[in-house]
Amino acid sequence: MRVAARLSFVILGWLVPALAAASEERSSALHFGDVLDSVRAHDPRIREAVERVRKAEAQTTAARGAFDPKLEGAGKLTTGSYYDLRSADVELRQPTTVWGSELYVGYRVGLGVNERWPTYRDDQTLSGGEVRAGIEVPVWRGGLIDPDRAKRERALRNEEAADQGLSVTRLDLELAAARAYWVWVASGRNQGVARELLELAEQRDAQLRRRLAAGSIPAFDVLDNERILLERQAFLVSAERAFQQASFDLSLFFRDSQGKPIVAKEDFVPGRVEVSEVDGLEVDQVIEEVLACHPEVERARAELAAAEVDQSLTRNELAPEIDLFFEYSRDLGERTGTDLDFTLPGNVFEAGVRLSMPLLMRPERGRAGAARAVVAERQAKLELVSDKLRARALDAASAVEAAHARAKLSAEVVETAAELADGERRRFEVGSSNLIFVNLREQQAAMAQMRYVEAVSLAEIERTRWETTTRVDCRAQAR
């Protein structure tokens, strides 16, 4: 145990200066607004959420790339047989989001090596080559939705979910920072109260020893005060440890301009804390807005929408593949005088249909069943998120009112307990009281101060919880 204790003191002795060295000196009290500004500017969890948004944006850009125009070309020389051919072909295709259709234009030229002879090949053209244009339209499968459009729509929904996730992260960090800050404030004030309590016992010890030397009190009173002194010393050690722990927890939210954690000192603790007033809580109206456009709800809806895209795609894949196509082409240039030339000039129109359909479709049916399950899962999640938000808003409103009432009552107890402790000490000085009652009154006064600070801290935490739960802007969501 002694080795472990020494090791812990060594670690703390190294850790505190190391973190404090990364801090920036302050000459004033640390307020929650300072911590919140630090969180917004330097917290790595916000940077992590921002990078998730950038990743989603990049994936959306990649998904949109499926609809970029494509240029393809090829050239070849066919020789070694009786009829030779030189040919080249270039085509520009443009996929569209209109019913999965795809437009294309192209140009090709195919001429024999010896232009006096026909090649009797399908890709022969007149001397000026052939121009063509066409459209391909999926009638059933791939009409309402296809993999490329599904990927783009899913990427958009995931981008929206990531953006809402960033807002959720900011709200969660604000509440977590409030908890860490007010626990730190309460532990810092409690440490001061414990130190004042110990100082009273030390002052009384000197007075009692003078009385003992004068023979006016028995040695028993001095011994009893020594016990009180030791108890208050132990109480101070516990309070100091609680403040150290709270300072370390706060350093995760309070950082310098380089983003390094700052271990806040006792000098940073505000000298006076008061509960902030809260305007009327219109719970019913606020809950409607929260359920309509809170970031957690919006994120869950975006995730559900992404799953519904997959469901639509897999349902469409169960349909037969029926594609219509239409093409117009025309050869250009002079005739070579061969018999084949008479089949090339003029406008050529070509229309047709293609059909393809797997018979068992087990992969498609399996993917469709999995997609339906994911949609049902996301719907249940959205319902749970809404229920939790409703319960959280109701509980936060109730907690704010109760915490404010407790803080006001605790403030009155502090004044009463302090007056009783002062009066008991004066009675003790004139011999009308004893050490037991003095100690009891001082402990009651100290506990009253601690409970008041804890009540104020809890009231501020609950106020922040109410604000982060109900801070929504439905007009911004509508835009």
Kindly report the pTM of this predicted structure.
Answer: 0.81
Cα(13)–Cα(7) distance, integer angstroms: 10
> 258, 365, 375: which is closest to 309 by C-alpha?
375
The length of the chain, given as a count of residues? 479
Q: How many helices (H) and strands (E) does the chain have?
A: 10, 6
* CA–CA separation, 426 and 408 (whole Å): 28
d(CA 365, CA 76): 43
Helix, strand, or coil (residue 453): helix
DSSP string, 3-55: HHHHHHHHHHHHHHHHHHHTS---SS---HHHHHHHHHHH-HHHHHHHHHHHH
pLDDT tens, per residue, the chain with 479 residues: 333 343 333 333 433 344 444 444 555 889 999 999 999 999 999 999 999 999 999 999 999 999 999 999 999 887 766 667 788 999 999 999 999 999 999 999 887 766 555 555 667 788 788 999 999 999 988 889 999 999 999 999 999 999 999 999 999 999 999 999 999 999 999 999 999 999 988 888 888 888 788 777 788 878 888 888 999 999 999 999 999 999 999 999 999 989 999 999 999 999 888 877 776 667 888 888 899 999 999 999 999 999 999 999 999 988 889 999 999 999 887 765 655 555 566 788 999 999 988 787 888 889 999 999 999 999 999 999 999 999 999 999 999 989 988 988 888 888 888 888 888 888 887 777 777 888 888 888 889 999 999 999 999 999 999 999 998 887 766 55
Q: What is the DSSP letter of 115?
A: T
438's tokens: 């003095």
- 23 vs 2: CA distance, rounded Å: 32
